[in-house]
Amino acid sequence: MPQTRRLPVYLVLDTSGSMGGAPIDAVREGIRIIVNQLRKDPQALETVHIGVITFDSDARQVVPLTDLMSFKEPQIDANGSTSLGSALRTLCKSADTEVKKGSQDQKGDWKPMVFLMTDGEPTDNWESAIPEIKKRTWGAFVACGAGPGAKTEPLKKITETVLKLHETQDLNQFFKWVSSSIKTASASMKMVPADAGAAQPAQLPPTPQAITVVP
Amino acid sequence: MSIASENAGSGKFSDDDQSSTGTVRQTVKAYLHIKRYAVSSDAKVIQIAEALSSPNNEARLNILNALCKQHEHLVVQPQASPDGLIRLECALQGGLLDNKIIPSANRASSASRPAVARAIATEPPVIAAVGPKPEPSVPLVQKPPPLTAEVTPSKEVSQSPTGRIDNPKQVVPVVTAKLTESDNSGTGRIPANGSVEHPIDPQLGIWAWKPLPTSAEEPDPHKEFDSSSGSLASNLNFIAARARGKKHKHEGTHCDDWYEVDTIGDWSLISVSDGAGSKRASRVGARSCTIASNSYLKKSLEKARLPEAKSRKEWDEALKTKGPSGEYINPELRVIQAAIVGSVRAAFDAVVKEFEDRKASGLWDKALGRIPELKDFRSTLLVSVLATVDFEGERRVLCLSAQVGDGLTVMYYSRPDLPPQPLAAKDSGEYSSETEFLVDFKKWDGLNTKVGAALAPFRTLISMTDGIDDIYDPRSGRDYNWIIAELFLNQVLPLKCAVENVDAAITDIGGIEVLEKAVAESRQARTKRLMEEPAEEICILDVGDYAKALSKTVDDLLRRPELMCAAHRVSPPISTDKRTDYRLLQWIDGKDVKGEFDDRTIVIVMPSTGVSL
């Protein structure tokens, strides 16, 4: 069967207890913003596939890699601790099974983009998952520490691209920025096939005022 | 290039720009983008933003009127808005989507925010009749947007770019949704009560690619499509076409491909190029490199002789190359090889010269908003030379080919046991998805090794840019043979079968009803080309779907062409126009493949008797 080369996008979202109330509403709203925004872009509509992983006391993939038209909003609730390590391992597993690598026989997908958001400090053995992340190459790996309680130092060990959102009430600025980042990537000629060895840092749009880039 | 990527590239217009002009600029940018008006330069956005930030109506009107003279997409509505300020509306051909940009709540409270931004945001959209006039039955004015998100799939207002009502299956919804507060640029606040304000709306995804005309104001205009056919040297013919890809159509940007076909003596010369989609001036590179390579080949092959080989053994010897240099041992072939290498060099020099001329004249400064760089002229290049030679008493086609960057030249053999053969390897840049471009090319010493040759029973040769190659790359689940089959199935290439054989084929597949069903299942939604009047609705059959519906493979169809001839009994040709190159153009322009956005160029060389099966 003819295949289309997909741009996989993983949203890895903190749903720990501290996200309860307005922040978790903002996460739900954020997913809607991303899907609605991308559905308005014909190029994104034909290429982008979104997968959602949530993590609290454990991590799980709540939405498998899904095209924008079939995307169904997941049920998301906030409770438990912040198992960042589980989230990273779940991400690796999902990418390994869902992202098609190019070969002699198939074109393969573009390298996946990852957007990770957490409002706290990891509570599990997260450092042991870092080599797993580094072993793989990503089209983009953005980690965002949201709110005053978020620690960006651990995130900096996971990826170069770390953002700090000062207030969780500004979360939807982050999600809007995520959707424009995906749009930029899907429109650019710089997407990298999943089988390519080297990963080129993705070109990301400037961040809004509420978000700073952690050097 | 999309606004998003321009934005990313330049780093301008970030949300950090909190000045009033900056805010308006953001709004204008987003507004124009949603209106799918291709903003060709940041400079233009600044102009519009400045106009809208201007304190009085007279100044505002002067700037806007000047802008409208330059760009027919822009229309100044003479009625003053409730705040007393002139507002600007973009009217686009068939522009049906009218999402409104609402300035953010926090900015709305800012005293410095110009009133006109609010005027844009809150007033009903006006679809003005610019360009092709919609038919009177189509309402021109949409109702003001409701306060909450709402999408109206609306048959009565869905229209094609020329104002015709389309097949309901292809209806484009009129989105009268305003973006709710949580979705506004720069709002940055979540709803206080956490309620669902912006459900994922299934209708939003029914988005059509909307072709826009090419911006007329850019330098180096480039016709958006082309096609030609004719005779080549030594009993060969060609048909060729190039068309703007859907991404460029949607953005109102140019087709970046080009091809040139020439002959000299016994030789037929084909050059094909694909300008980098992300580079605005790349079409200049594509055009100049193909013209230069063919022109160089004409000079250098004028007196070139063909090898004197005749027997299989002699040809085997002649086609051997010398170790790492990659040079042919045979002196005649070495001359031809040197000519191809020289043509690539000449093409490189020509692009550099075009770039330097434009840099000196400042021709592109305004469009780019800066002085051009060589990389703005990036393009690929595929060069092929063909001649007919004697091989054991039969006439065969000798082809030598080289390329820089992606795209492909493929030789098709008349023997069924020989699969289509690519003649040169695709180049890739530092990262596999990035192609190599002529102006960045550095491996001149190794170019000899990149010249591929083929000499075998000839059916046809196709040289194509990535826009076609990517669809039929065997790794996509299709195959290069599908191109030939699809051209026959859609009657781009003529196919004649004996009536009784077609009758037998129809009986074999289970009768006329099975055939009609297969055709219905393989028919792509009817598309209409914007780019030429009278716009003709075309009908394209997908050969993969057709074969599947008949429980056959595409190779089965090629082995038994009657199965394709059968489809012609129940499905019209792709176009009422009988010109082969025009039908080829219709096919490359209309063939819709998910995830494929590129410009498409194809040059097909065949015996003067046509492509045989």
Taking only the tens place, the pLDDT of each residue in A26-58 is: 999 999 999 988 888 888 888 899 999 999 999
| Three-state SS sequence of B316-334 | HHHCCEEHHHCEECCHHHH
Question: ∠A98-A100-A102 over CA atoms, to 5°?
Answer: 165
Which of B7, B196, B277 lies closest to A205 in CB terms? B7
Does position A210 have pLDDT exceeding 50, yes or no? yes
| Nearest CB to B190 within list A22, A42, A189 | A22
**Pick from A178, A113, A124, A105: nearest CA to A146:** A178
**A62-71, B104-113, B389-398: segment of lowest average pLDDT:** B104-113
The pLDDT of residue B59 is above 90: no
Partner B contacted by A151 (CB < 8 A): no
Q: How far is CA B378 from CA B257, B274, B450, in A?
A: 11, 9, 20
Sort out which chain A residues have CB atoms less than 8 A from B196's CB and list them.
Answer: 28-29, 32
Mean pLDDT value of segment B136-155: 29
Residue B100, pLDDT > 90, answer no
Contact check, Cβ <8 Å, A29/B186: no
Using a pLDDT cut of 70, give the percent of chain B over it: 63
Contacts of B265 (CB under 8 A, 6+ apart): B233, B301, B302, B303, B304
Look at B477 and A106 and tell me if their CB atoms are within 8 Å.
yes
CB atoms within 10 A of CB B110: 13
Rounded to a whole number, what is the distance in Å from the CA of B326 to chain A's nearest CA?
Answer: 26
- Chain A hits for B591, CB-CB cut-off 8 Å, are none
Give the percent of chain A with pLDDT over 90. 55
DSSP reduced 3-state for B237: strand
Residue B491: pLDDT over 50: yes
Please report where in the chains the tokens 């686009």 appear, as a residue: B92
What is the Cα–Cα distance from B10 to B195, expressed in whole angstroms? 37
Q: Is the pLDDT of residue B280 over 70?
A: yes
Whether the Cβ atoms of residue B128 and residue B99 lie closer than 8 Å to each other = no
Q: Identify the bridge partners of residue B259 per DSSP, sorted by sequence position.
A: B272
Residue B193: per-residue pLDDT: 37
Instruction: Report residue A106's pLDDT band, with 50, 70 and 90 as the boundaries.
Output: confident
Instruction: Read off the pLDDT of each residue in A89-118 and give the average, rounded to a whole number.
Output: 89
Query: Which of B203, B204, B483 to mutate against chain A (most A CBs within 10 Å)?
Result: B204
Which residue stretches of A56-151 are H helix? 84-98, 130-135
Give the pLDDT confidence score for residue B3 in this predicted structure. Answer: 30
- All residues of chain A having their beta carbon less than 8 Å from the beta carbon of residue B190 are 22, 25-26, 29, 169, 171-172
Query: What pLDDT, on the 0 to 100 scale, is given for residue B64?
Result: 60
- Average per-residue pLDDT for chain B: 73
**Would you say B18 and A209 are in contact if contact means Cβ atoms under 8 Å apart?**
yes
From chain B, pick out residues whose CB is under 8 angstroms from the CB of A26.
Answer: 190, 194
Token reading at B84 = 């007393």
Average pLDDT over residues B54-60: 63
Cα radius of gyration (chain B) = 28
Q: Given the DSSP bridges, would you call strands B321-322 and B327-328 parallel, antiparallel or unpaired?
A: antiparallel
What's the pLDDT score for residue B313? 92
Q: Among A21, A25, A196, whose Cβ lies nearest the Cβ of B431?
A: A196
Tokens of B214: 């090419």
pLDDT at B364 over 80: yes
**Mean pLDDT calculated for residue range B500-505:** 96
Query: What is the average pLDDT across B271-296?
Result: 94
Q: How many CB atoms lie within 10 A of CB A5?
A: 23
Comparison of pLDDT for A108 and B26, the residue scoring more: A108
pLDDT higher than threshold 90 for residue B252: no
Cis peptide before B534 (omega within 30 of 0): yes
Residues B507 and B580 sit within 8 Å (Cβ to Cβ): no
Chain B residues with CB under 8 Å of A184 CB are 2, 4-5, 7-8
The residue of chain A nearest to residue B474, with distances taken between CA atoms, is: A105
DSSP A5: -
Interface contact flag, B197 A206, Cβ < 8 Å: no
Residue A205: which of B4, B183, B188 has the nearest Cβ?
B4
| pLDDT for B122 beyond 80 | no
How far is the CA of A108 from the CAs of A47, B126, B477, in angstroms?
12, 44, 11
Alpha helices in B362-478 (DSSP H): 365-368, 466-472
Q: For a pLDDT cut of 90, what percent of chain B falls above it? A: 44
Written as six digits, the tokens of B219 are 């330098």
pLDDT tops 90 at residue B488: yes
Mean pLDDT of all residues in chain A? Answer: 88
pLDDT at B432 over 80: no
d(CA B406, CA A154): 41
Confidence of residue A149 (pLDDT cuts 50, 70, 90): confident
Q: Which residues are bridge partners to B261 per DSSP?
A: B270
A window 159-188, beta carbon within 8 A of B: 169-173, 176, 180, 183-184, 187-188
Query: Residue B200: which of A35, A184, A195 has the nearest Cβ?
Result: A35
Tell me which range, B156-170, B260-274, B432-446, B578-592, is most confidently predicted by mean pLDDT: B260-274
The 10s digit of each residue's pLDDT in B7-23 is: 333 323 333 334 445 55
Euclidean distance between CA atoms B222 and B283, whole angstroms: 7
How much is the pLDDT for B39? 43
C-alpha span between B403 and B420 (Å, rounded): 17
Do residue B475 and residue A102 have CB atoms under 8 angstroms apart? Answer: yes
Interchain CB contact of A206 with B (< 8 Å): yes
Helix (H) or strand (E) holding A140: strand A140-146
**Among candidates A41, A193, A204 on the partner chain, residue whose Cβ is nearest the Cβ of B8:** A204
Q: Are B190 and B182 in contact (CB under 8 A)?
A: yes
The whole-angstrom separation of Cα B102 and Cα A208 is: 17
pLDDT number for residue B114:
29
pLDDT at B608: 93
**CA dist B562 → B227, B498, B503 (Å):** 29, 8, 8
B261 pLDDT exceeds 50?
A: yes
Is the model's pLDDT at B83 over the cut of 50?
Answer: no
Quote the pLDDT of residue B17.
Answer: 37
DSSP state of B284: H
Average pLDDT over residues B513-529: 86
Q: Quick one: which H or E segment has residue A178?
A: helix A171-187
Chain B residues with CB-CB distance to A193 below 8 A: 432-433
Select from A47, A73, A200 the Cβ nearest to the Cβ of B200.
A73
Nearest to A32 among B1, B198, B430 (CB): B198
Q: What integer pLDDT is reported at residue B489 of this predicted model?
A: 97
Chosen for mutation from B25, B180, B207 (greatest number of chain A CBs closer than 10 Å) is: B207
Is residue B443 pLDDT above 90, yes or no?
Answer: no
For residue A85, the model assigns a pLDDT of 95
Token representation of residue B3: 């606004």
Nearest Cα residue in chain B from A193: B433
What is the DSSP code (8-state) at residue B166?
P
Q: What is the DSSP string of B19-55?
A: SHHHHHHHHHHHHHHHTT-----HHHHHHHHHHHH-S
**Can you list the alpha helix ranges (DSSP code H) found in A40-122?**
42-47, 84-98
**By mean pLDDT, which of A194-198, B336-340, B418-422, B564-568 is the weakest?**
A194-198
The predicted pLDDT at position B8 comes to 31
Tell me what the mean pLDDT of segment A143-152 comes to. Answer: 91
Q: Which tens digit of pLDDT belongs to each residue from B156-210?
A: 323 333 333 233 332 222 222 222 223 333 333 333 333 334 455 544 444 456 7
Return the minimum-mean-pLDDT range out of A4-8, B51-55, B201-205: B201-205
Task: Give mean pLDDT, residues B547-572.
Answer: 95
Distance from CA of B552 to the nearest CA of A (A): 13
Instruction: Indicate whether B289 pLDDT > 90.
Output: yes
By mean pLDDT, which of A36-40, A171-175, B54-58 is the weakest?
A: B54-58
The yes-or-no verdict on residue B575 having pLDDT over 90 is no
Chain B touched by A210 (CB under 8 Å): yes
B-chain residue closest to A70, CA distance:
B202
Quick check: B48 pLDDT over 80? no
The answer to whether residue A64 scores a pLDDT higher than 90 is: yes
Q: Does B189 touch chain A (CB under 8 A)?
A: yes
Predicted local distance difference test score (pLDDT) of residue B504: 97
- How far away is chain A from the Cα of B226, in angstroms, using its nearest Cα? 25
- Res. A139: pLDDT tops 50: yes
DSSP secondary structure of B181-194 = GGGSTT-----TT-
